[in-house]
């Protein structure tokens, strides 16, 4: 389990670091009105984490995932970049699901 679904506001996001040192996985989940989506926490442009402040993955209006390094904007439901230096590229998806009220990692 990553976290309870209730820990994530609609149009909210939360980051996670999983695994042992040397084999860590950085990922985040984002929620909208239609579901929960998981992504690797790495911008396709710079290969760096998207957030500077913990769990701050969303644009100010909460309509997109935003890379705080260069302002790239990504769609919530598929991670497609629609603004910035990596337009047309996508975040790497991570399989997640909601089971018994909890967000769980599937892969």
Residue 30 corresponds to which tokens in the numbers above? 């984002």
DSSP 8-state assignment for residue 93: E
pLDDT at residue 21, rounded to an integer = 87
Compute the radius of gyration of the chain from its Cα atoms: 13
Phi, psi dihedrals of residue 51, rounded to the nearest 5°? -105, 150
DSSP 8-state assignment for residue 58: B
**pTM assigned to the model:** 0.95
pLDDT at residue 66, rounded to an integer = 97
Q: How confident is the model at residue 107 (pLDDT cuts 50, 70, 90)?
A: confident
Looking at the predicted structure, is the pLDDT value of residue 79 above 90? yes
Looking at the predicted structure, is the pLDDT value of residue 89 above 90? yes
pLDDT in tens, 21-72: 888 999 999 999 999 999 999 999 999 999 999 999 999 999 999 999 989 9
In order of their start, the domains of the chain are 3-105 (2.102.10.10)
Residue 6 corresponds to which tokens in the numbers above? 């209730």
Looking at the predicted structure, is the pLDDT value of residue 12 above 90? yes
Phi-psi region of 11 (alpha: psi -120 to 50; beta: other; left: phi over 0): left
Residue 96 corresponds to which tokens in the numbers above? 């997640």
Between CA 69 and CA 29 the distance in angstroms is: 19
Best CA proximity match to 78, nearest among 21, 39, 22 = 39
């Amino acid at each position: 389990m990553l976290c309870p679904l209730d820990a994530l506001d609609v149009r909210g996001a939360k980051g996670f670091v999983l695994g042992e040192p040397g084999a860590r996985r950085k990922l985040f989940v984002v929620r909208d009105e239609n579901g929960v989506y998981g992504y690797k926490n790495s911008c396709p442009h710079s290969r760096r984490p998207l957030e500077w402040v913990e769990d701050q993955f969303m644009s100010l209006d909460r309509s997109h995932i935003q890379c705080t390094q260069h302002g790239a904007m990504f769609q919530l439901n598929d991670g497609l970049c629609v603004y910035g230096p990596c337009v047309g590229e996508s975040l790497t998806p991570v399989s997640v699901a909601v089971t018994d009220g909890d967000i769980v990692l599937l892969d």
